[in-house]
A = this chain, B = another copy of it.
Amino acid sequence: MSHKEDSVPEFVLGHLSTPEGRAASVVLACEGFYHDLLLEPADPEPGDDVTVSAFAGTHVTVAAVALHYTTDGSQPEPGADHTSSVSMQRSGQTWDTLTWSYGECWRAVIPGQPLGTVVHYVVEGVTPDGETIRSPHVPPPPAIIVAEDRDTLRLTAETEAHSRLPQVYAYAVDTEAVPEWLRNAVIYQIFVDRFAPDPGKEFAQPPDRSGFYGGTLRGVRSKLDYLADLGVTCLWLSPIFPAPSHHGYDATDYGAVEPRLGDLDDFEQLAQAARAHGIHIVLDYVANHISNEHPAFVAAQRDRSADTASWFRFFSWPDDYDTFLGVRSMPRLNTDDECVRAYLIDNACCWLERGADGFRLDHAHGATHAFWSAFRTATRAVKPSSVTFGEVTDTPAIMRSFVGRMDGELDFILLEALRQFFGFHALYPSEFDRFLRRHFAYFDGYSNSDLALPSFFDNHDMNRFLFSVGGDVRRLKLAALCQFTLPEPPIIYYGTEVGLSQLRPADPLEESRLPMLWGDAQDQDLLGFYKELIALRRKTYPVWRRARRTLATDDVRGIYAYACGRYAVVLNNSAQPASIRLKTTADAPLTPVLYTDGEAAFDAETSVAWLPPYSGIVVHGQ
């Protein structure tokens, strides 16, 4: 079926998913006064001077800008003894054609600091009237130029309101790099309620998709042999904390296990057993929001002077408060509040001590950069090999701003391109190739040591890829072959390897979260292919990080071929069979090492690959 018929829009990217949202975002970026979050260098090491920049847009005049910072871990207080101040200098004017207006850039340098320093800073401008404004600051538009669509624009901005409150920024001066095990991982995403019930039990059959199917931590443990045999090296578990919902993204307690899923002991046993299988455990962790049934919120809503009142932002107490994308059952946390930080970070550290190896950070751009700097510093101290990777559904520029604050970010930008190319033929091979080159080059210099970009082509928030291509397993294999021969660590959404799909479009989202297939329900051919693919990945992972050579982009025939090191990959992304001759300078003939389709063939003598519709091969030269 065409994705036009789906009731869930393809590519969920929040406020940037529509051209209107993008235009509004570009316009908003021209309006306020703000620090742009990009540091030079991006991830400061000991002794590095750090250049910080600020921007004053269309509607803001600042007569002077100052940067106030501390190096002792305390919050900056302009004028106080423990706070240093530097004047920022005007560094240029920008012109924006879309808003037909000028902007102004300012810069300052924070001197190099010793290892372990966490630099906290604020950026403050002084208006011509002598008013001090702290970044980020978005002034109301002058009444006189309110246009009809100004409301729409504001509405778009509203979901971002939290990130537009005055901020204390921070960065950690360290030499941390992405732990090698994450860089080389094959990650398996498990939606715990839907993966495996306790041994000997069957999945429940709830009346609707948002019910409980009965997956548990003991269930996951019982499948470790399956997972190890499959070859994955890391499990990403959906939230396991007490929560009213089946998905768990609305926790009521970060220190316990949801009783439906098991208990602390179950978790520790799972972690231990996984370790014995050579498998890491990564927990899904939500810093952005909690459940409205969380005691902290219940107390804050009951009593405005409650200790936890500062955890939240009440626009008008008790019923109007900041939320996750307007969902009232998910009040947003103020991650700059000291108590919130202590609560989230202390609990995270406990989970590392209980055996977790790291965290997948839900809606990570909802918490501040300073929060994530503190989070990583603390978790690394407890477990130096632990990892963090975030869900940042924003632009590559914003993604880059999180370098040094976490080890990786889920690659939503690549997700789009993979689905467009393999799922919808909305990109030609030449366009896909151009995208891949520029995308990885854009993050180059970071991704080599400071940032991992785990790849995926579907997850729990969109139609499964297999459903999007009408159940055509050939196309799934082809997309997977490409995914596993890219530089970054691949993620498999549970069940993808055995043909799990959907009955109807993913609306509500739960349709993409059907229970795992076990036993005869599994597509053994597909599973066998995935095992081969994972084995190849684990054997060759350094290869795909090398310089990538494009061998062919045939937009008419849908052929895309590339090589890294001594390996070449040929993809036929069309409904027609095709043959292609590979040029080789090697003396020995090329050897095929993986086919997606049993009918694909490779003639070593002539170096000609013959590829049925939607099939691919990997070949290897001596």
By a beta-carbon cutoff of 8 Å, the part of chain A in contact with chain B is 16, 19, 22-23, 25-26, 29, 59, 61, 90, 93, 95, 97-98, 100-104, 128, 142, 144-145, 395-397, 425-428, 430-431, 433-435, 437-439, 441-442, 550, 553, 555
Looking across the interface, which residue of chain B has its beta carbon closest to that of A145?
Answer: B426
* Residues of B with C-beta under 8 A to A555: 142
A427 contacts across to B, CB distance below 8 A:
144
Q: In the complex the two chains form, is A144's CB within 8 Å of B98's CB? A: no
A61 CB contact (under 8 Å) in B396, B434, B442: B434
Given A102-B438, A102-B439, A128-B550, does the pair A95, B145 have CB atoms closer than 8 Å?
no
Instruction: Tell me which of B101, B102, B104, B438 contacts A104 (CB under 8 A).
Output: B438
User: What 8 A-B pairs are tightest by C-beta distance, nearest first?
Assistant: A102-B438, A93-B442, A61-B434, A95-B396, A93-B438, A93-B441, A22-B97, A97-B395
> Which B residues are in CB contact (< 8 Å) with A550?
128
Q: Are A142 and B431 in contact (CB under 8 A)?
A: yes
What are 8 residue pairs bridging A and B, where the CB atoms are less than 8 Å apart in the complex? A19-B98, A23-B23, A61-B437, A101-B435, A102-B438, A102-B439, A128-B550, A144-B425
By a CB distance below 8 angstroms, the chain B residues around A25 are 97
A95 contacts B430, C-beta separation under 8 Å? no
Contact A430 B61 (CB under 8 A): yes
Q: A101-B435, A103-B438 are in contact. List 18 more A-B contacts (CB 8 A).
A: A19-B98, A22-B98, A23-B98, A26-B97, A26-B98, A29-B97, A59-B431, A90-B441, A93-B438, A93-B441, A95-B397, A102-B434, A102-B438, A104-B441, A128-B430, A128-B433, A128-B553, A145-B426
- Once the chains bind, are A442 and B26 in contact (CB under 8 Å)? no
| B428 touching A142, Cβ below 8 Å | yes
Please name all residues of chain B whose beta carbon is closer than 8 Å to the beta carbon of A90 when the two chains form the complex: 441
Closest B residue by C-beta to A149: B19
- In the bound assembly, the distance between CA atoms of A104 and B26 in angstroms comes to 20
Residue of B102, B144, B396 near A426 (CB, 8 A) is B144
Residue of B at shortest CB range from A94?
B442
- Cβ-defined contact, A16 with B97, below 8 A: yes
Q: Which residues of B contact A98 (CB under 8 A)?
A: 19, 22-23, 26, 98
A203 to chain B, nearest CB (A): 39
Instruction: Tell me which residues across on chain B come within 8 A of A22, comparing CB atoms.
Output: 97-98, 100
Chain B residues, CB < 8 A from A438:
93, 102-104
A101 to chain B, nearest CB (A): 8
Pick the contact of A102 from B61, B103, B144, B435 — CB < 8 Å?
B435
Q: Determine how close the nearest CB of chain B comes to the CB of A483; give it in whole angstroms.
A: 19
